[in-house]
Every structure is written in C-alpha cells, then in structure tokens.
Amino acid sequence: MPCDVRWINCLNFLKWYLSNWYILKTISDRNASEISSNPDVLKSIKNMLLYKYVEHAAQYLEPVPEALNTVQRDDSNIYSAIRAWKKSFQSFRENAGIGKC
C-alpha cells in the first residue's frame, strides 16, 4: 500500500501545481520586488519549460495510481493485473507518441 500512496501524492502535487500555476505567476508578478531577493523562485515560476515538463509528467503518471489500485485490490487476480498494466503501458506509449501496443 505505501507505494500506491506515494504515486497518488506525486500525481496530486503535479495536478495542484498545474491548476494553481497561474496564481503563483500572478502573485510573483505583483510582488516581483519582494521576490527579487530570491531570483531562483521567480525564474522557477516563470519557467514555461518546467511547466510543460510537469504537464507531461502528470500525463505519464495518470494511469499509474489506477493500475496500482486495481492490482492491490483484495479481489484482484492475474487477469485484472495484466489488463491494468497493459492499459498503463498503452497510455505511456500514446503519451510518448509511439502508438498502440
């Protein structure tokens, strides 16, 4: 079970960052003079490449908690486990632009 919790927490954090990024940017824009003492914070918030990386990471991680929940259920069997991981693998490939399995 601990593995499941960590994946979900990681995904939840990435989703939080993406949904609240505009708030962080607005605050940093309005308070640039106060934040200027720590330019790394300002650079991180305005770094659109970082934002895109987080978007892609969230897309890749999306199927993992679902697959872990399926595999770790009390009534899980080998068929449901293989189906869950195959679905995750297909999602990874599609997000990577490789195509279907």
pLDDT at residue 99 above 60? Answer: no
What dihedral angle (degrees, nearest 10) is formed by the CA atoms of 12, 81, 85, 56?
0
Domain boundaries, the chain: 2-96
Model pTM above 0.75: no
pLDDT digits (tens, 9 = 90+) for 9-60: 888 999 999 999 999 999 988 988 888 888 888 888 889 999 999 998 888 8
Q: Are 23 and 70 in contact (CB under 8 A)?
A: no
